[in-house]
Structure 1
Amino acid sequence: MKQWLWMILTALLSCGVFAQESSEPVESYKDKVVVLKVGEKSLMNKHSFKYWRKVMKRAEAEKAKAIIFDIDTPGGYAMETADLITRVMPELTIPSIAFVNPEATSAGSMIAFGCDKIYMHPRGSIGSTGIVSGGGQEIGPVMRAKIESLFTSYVKIVAKEKGRNPDVMKAMMFRDQEYEFADGKVKVAKGELLNLVADESILMVDGKPLLADGIAVNIEAILELEGMAGAEVVSAEPKGLEAFAQWVGLTSPILIGIGFIAVFMEVKTPGFGIFGVIGLSAFAIFFVGNNLDGNLAGGWLFVIFALGLLLVILEFTVIPGTFVAGSIGVVMMLGAIMMAMVDSDMLDSFKDSKDGLITLPVLIGWPLIYMTVGIALAGVVSMIVMRYLPSLPMYSSLAVSAELPSGTGVENHNQELVGQEGVVITELRPAGKAEILGVIHNVISQHGFIENGSAVKVVSADGMRIIVDQVS
């Protein structure tokens, strides 16, 4: 068995230990005001939610003075946002403050609803929280009824917890009726959604503001109004391992593709070389980064992936043609890769969900898409490599130039085999082994299955593969 196989397995398992035991950030949030930036595309990035959950839990544990969401966004994923503000934010005992600076539209307004206090920039606007599909299209009537029923419950819960007028939130979310607030100063016609500007949001109704607690030009002004003037402010931007983890999360399809391409190339070339190093590195970065990103890429998944890789390599090098070990190995590898990208907190929400906010498609949708893209990338590039690599000048530096003794089964002069006949010694499905000119070769059938003992003829050969066809 190739030396690089053990290197890969050892490296993967070592990466698992590293990921499990990675140290926490050393800077403390104690008695500080933690600012989380909700930017234009933040709510369209799954990794933002993971990072915010991590920061909020850490701020709570370290007794930060407050958390401020600095919001300027047109919106994003509704279900993930609802999960954040119904499961994580209610557990906070430290104050949470929303700063609409200057736009909190759609899911951005939901973040503001979930905070204890809301402050508006003088040019701020909040609202238009109507729910649409991920692509921005209108949702069908049945699905809309189901989703709006869920969010009606959410509105009631949040309005009660935060002491806000539920009709204001409903007017922003639903278009089924007309609304009127502040003695007619704010009106919403049926079929429209409420969107409040700063001055409207602080209009007094029954002794309390319509929605926002005040207007402020910056975070320092908010701290002054909240009696926290002079408090140390820290911006919770991803740094170091956290930034690395988010980068890996976003580039996972590319890492998957590179890993599979490199493993394929390494199997096709003798010895342990550059492709083995690339494949090892790609999968190591993938698993470590996803673990740090808050996904399920823990030690047990490393073991499953490593065992799957072992079975696939055994299929190519020791027991070709059976496809049993290889098929099981592929399933184990793909299962481990997909599960490695599942968000741990979202999985908890899925298991605990009583209201159906987090469904199975929400849980595994993006991991499945990322894995599919990575495999497709690997497939396309592998086909190009199979077709063009042997003719490229760089290939001569990768191939072994020395002629090996006859009988080893790894001679480099495969081109000389074209036109020669041999006998299949394992079934070709379509890969297997055949004896040609007294030497055993790994071959591939040109036209599908060929039985053991059949006579075949080499129709093409290069440094990557030997193609045979059955002799009629």
Structure 2
Amino acid sequence: MKALFFLILTALFCLAEEAPEQRVWGKSDEVSLTGKVVVLPIGQKDLINKQAFRFWQRMLERAVEEEARAVVLELDTPGGLAFDTKDIITDDFGKLEIPLIAWVKREALSAGALISFSADRIYMAPGTIIGSAGLINSTGAEMDKVLRAKLESAFEASLRPVVEKKGHNLEVLRAMMFIDEDKERTFGSVTVRKNGLLNLTAKEAVEVVDGKPLLAAGIAESLEEVLRAEGMENAEVIRPNPTGFEKFAWWIAAISPLLIAVGIGAAYFEFKAPGFGLFGFLSLGVFTLFFFGNNVAGNLAGYELMAVFLVGMVLVVLEILVIPGGIAGIIGGLMVLGSLWFAMADRVEFERLDEGEGVASNLGSLLIGPGLMLGLGILGAIGLMLLFMRFLPDIPLFRGLVAKEALPSGQGGAPKQSFVGAIATALTDLRPTGTIMVDGVKKDAISNHGLIEKGSQVRVLEEGMTFHVEPVEDGEV
């Protein structure tokens, strides 16, 4: 029956991998974008949320496919993830085939300022600010000059085609991104001091320099004013939200440590219990949700890692049931843990490893977060095992799974007794796991010779946390 565990697990994993293409709770439930103005808010924390980038990419694809009239980026952000921002600018915003408008509702700093340059036109609300797009590392500390120069050069080269295509002033972008230690820089009425970065207010951004606005096409106090300036005041406006399917997957990915803890703990108790039951189905569901959620959320969880996980589990089972000795179990355990670890790594960051982009090219940095989540999951699993072993005997439903008898009187300080070769009685069916009674003590046992019915006599072949036994033929002693 234990084999059923892996057959069902494999089937569920395959279904989980196919699910994203079926758009469960997805596109079929969403309102059409045809002829409408699609507003995508980019708020205070959105540019540090990798899931938000994936949602925007999907909405841009839909906007083109369904022939939306325009897309408006409503900006109120202090910045966020530099490389993810660069990618969505060059791969999505910069290549959009319908009008893209940026409206700075309150502020567009750092990565938010960079995004503005990918729009066809920029509007700013009164009193807003845009700029300070210098690169910093993940901790916010100052970078080495060589590394900074390398990153700034790569970023500028990537963004330059988009900025030129959209008709914005490339020197304004450079002044927002690059520090000049030797001289001041002047843009209209604004002077950038040495070692400073350019920031523009709404009034300064619309200042006409050399016959064209320095950066923004106009000042607009509301979205309605933006649409009026673009000649789209009568267009229907829609603010799409992530589907229930996407929210569910993101939530599942966020609680991955809990899923790992429950999945490992349930699998452990499944192998300690006879037959195939509650713990096995619980582990099946939990690990299916784990791979499914992380796959949809944009992590590396996929067919390959699912296969590694399954092979690892098979090796662990072989170690327990067929070939005890340690090697298969160690290899299988490493495969299981490794697949869980990499399954939580971001797919985009992983694909960027070959690009040599500073911190993002460091595999160790990429795996720190998933490693911490895996560690929390393992600690949680150990905690669950300890709690279950402490309280399980007191729960009527599970009382038969744990031996509660004390050792016979007088054996507490005696040398450990060996049960190898002893004759025991099967207290449950061994399918192939179950419970035996040997010398008055209950022990977990595994049959080395198929099904052994309850009440049968068995001989102990090996002992440990789980005893390996064989049936005793009639007439044997």
TM, length-normalised to structure 1: 0.80
Corresponding residue of 1:391: 390
Runs of 5+ in structure 2 lacking a partner? 422-436, 447-461, 468-477
**3-state SS of 2:175 partner:** helix
Find 2:131's aligned residue among 102, 124, 127.
127
**3-state SS of 2:98 partner:** coil
Note closer, same or farther for the CA distance 1:122–1:34 as it changes in structure 2 (3 Å cut). same
Equivalent residues of 1:71, 1:101 under 8 A apart: yes
User: Any idea what the Cα deviations from partners look like across 1:22-51, whole Å, max 9, x if unmatched?
Assistant: 355023222111111111111111111111
Determine the C-alpha separation between the residues in 1 that align with 2:398 and 2:332. Answer: 28
- The alignment status of 1:330 with 2:320, answered yes or no, reads no
Q: Which amino acid aligns with 2:332?
A: G
Corresponding residue of 1:21: 22
Determine the C-alpha separation between the residues in 2 that align with 1:87 and 1:401. Answer: 59
Q: Which amino acid aligns with 1:12?
A: F
Determine the C-alpha separation between the residues in 1 that align with 2:237 and 2:316. Answer: 52
Q: Which amino acid aligns with 1:22?
A: R
Corresponding residue of 1:180: 186
Equivalent residues of 1:83, 1:357 under 8 A apart: no
Corresponding residue of 1:149: 153
User: Any idea what the Cα deviations from partners look like across 1:318-341, whole Å, max 9, x if unmatched?
Assistant: 3333332x3333343344434444
Equivalent residues of 2:444, 2:466 under 8 A apart: no
Tell me the CA shift for residue 220 of structure 1.
1.7
Q: Which amino acid aligns with 1:10?
A: A
Runs of 5+ in structure 1 lacking a partner? 403-409, 426-434, 444-455, 459-463, 467-472
User: Any idea what the Cα deviations from partners look like across 1:59-79, whole Å, max 9, x if unmatched?
Assistant: 122221111111111111111
Q: Which amino acid aligns with 1:115?
A: A
Equivalent residues of 2:393, 2:404 under 8 A apart: no
Equivalent residues of 1:19, 1:298 under 8 A apart: no
- The alignment status of 1:369 with 2:353, answered yes or no, reads no
Q: Which amino acid aligns with 2:27?
A: P
Q: Which amino acid aligns with 2:374?
A: I
Tell me the CA shift for residue 197 of structure 1.
0.9
Corresponding residue of 1:421: 417
- The alignment status of 1:207 with 2:189, answered yes or no, reads no
Q: Which amino acid aligns with 2:215?
A: L
Corresponding residue of 1:279: 283
Equivalent residues of 1:159, 1:165 under 8 A apart: yes
Count of residue correspondences: 428
Amino-acid identity (%): 38
Note closer, same or farther for the CA distance 1:334–1:322 as it changes in structure 2 (3 Å cut). closer
Q: Which amino acid aligns with 2:268?
A: F
Corresponding residue of 1:381: 380
Corresponding residue of 2:57: 53
**3-state SS of 1:422 partner:** coil
Determine the C-alpha separation between the residues in 1 that align with 2:400 and 2:253. Answer: 41
Tell me the CA shift for residue 93 of structure 1.
1.0
Equivalent residues of 2:393, 2:399 under 8 A apart: no
Determine the C-alpha separation between the residues in 1 that align with 2:274 and 2:193. Answer: 73
Q: Which amino acid aligns with 2:331?
A: I
Mapping for residues 7-406 of structure 1, pairs under 5 Å: 7-23=8-24, 24-26=26-28, 27-176=31-180, 177-182=183-188, 185-324=189-328, 326-344=329-347, 353=355, 356=357, 359-361=360-362, 365-366=365-366, 368-392=367-391, 395-397=394-396, 399-401=398-400
Q: Which amino acid aligns with 1:178?
A: E
Determine the C-alpha separation between the residues in 1 that align with 2:418 and 2:319. Answer: 22
Equivalent residues of 1:255, 1:374 under 8 A apart: no
**3-state SS of 1:421 partner:** coil
Determine the C-alpha separation between the residues in 2 that align with 1:288 and 1:386. Answer: 25
Equivalent residues of 2:75, 2:102 under 8 A apart: yes
Tell me the CA shift for residue 349 of structure 1.
5.7
Note closer, same or farther for the CA distance 1:265–1:138 as it changes in structure 2 (3 Å cut). farther
Tell me the CA shift for residue 211 of structure 1.
0.6
Equivalent residues of 2:261, 2:379 under 8 A apart: no
Note closer, same or farther for the CA distance 1:281–1:43 as it changes in structure 2 (3 Å cut). same
Determine the C-alpha separation between the residues in 2 that align with 1:286 and 1:261. Answer: 14
Determine the C-alpha separation between the residues in 2 that align with 1:171 and 1:32. Answer: 36
Determine the C-alpha separation between the residues in 2 that align with 1:387 and 1:242. Answer: 35
Tell me the CA shift for residue 10 of structure 1.
3.2
Tell me the CA shift for residue 17 of structure 1.
3.5
Equivalent residues of 1:117, 1:212 under 8 A apart: yes
Determine the C-alpha separation between the residues in 1 that align with 2:166 and 2:466. Answer: 68
Equivalent residues of 1:346, 1:358 under 8 A apart: no
Note closer, same or farther for the CA distance 1:42–1:298 as it changes in structure 2 (3 Å cut). same
**3-state SS of 1:139 partner:** coil
Note closer, same or farther for the CA distance 1:271–1:440 as it changes in structure 2 (3 Å cut). same
Q: Which amino acid aligns with 2:164?
A: K
| Bigger radius of gyration among the two | 2
Equivalent residues of 2:342, 2:370 under 8 A apart: no
**3-state SS of 1:236 partner:** coil
Q: Which amino acid aligns with 2:19?
A: F
Note closer, same or farther for the CA distance 1:342–1:56 as it changes in structure 2 (3 Å cut). farther
Q: Which amino acid aligns with 2:379?
A: V
Determine the C-alpha separation between the residues in 1 that align with 2:36 and 2:371. Answer: 43
Determine the C-alpha separation between the residues in 2 that align with 1:44 and 1:137. Answer: 17
TM, length-normalised to structure 2: 0.79
Corresponding residue of 2:427: none
Determine the C-alpha separation between the residues in 2 that align with 1:358 and 1:53. Answer: 24
Note closer, same or farther for the CA distance 1:37–1:251 as it changes in structure 2 (3 Å cut). farther
**3-state SS of 2:418 partner:** strand
Determine the C-alpha separation between the residues in 2 that align with 1:93 and 1:65. Answer: 10
**3-state SS of 1:72 partner:** strand
Q: Which amino acid aligns with 1:83?
A: D
Tell me the CA shift for residue 436 of structure 1.
7.4
User: Any idea what the Cα deviations from partners look like across 1:137-182, whole Å, max 9, x if unmatched?
Assistant: 2222232121122123235333322212222111111121421011
Note closer, same or farther for the CA distance 1:465–1:381 as it changes in structure 2 (3 Å cut). farther
**3-state SS of 2:97 partner:** coil
Q: Which amino acid aligns with 2:184?
A: E
**3-state SS of 2:400 partner:** coil
Moved more, 298-307 or 159-168: 298-307
**3-state SS of 2:103 partner:** strand
Equivalent residues of 1:98, 1:117 under 8 A apart: yes
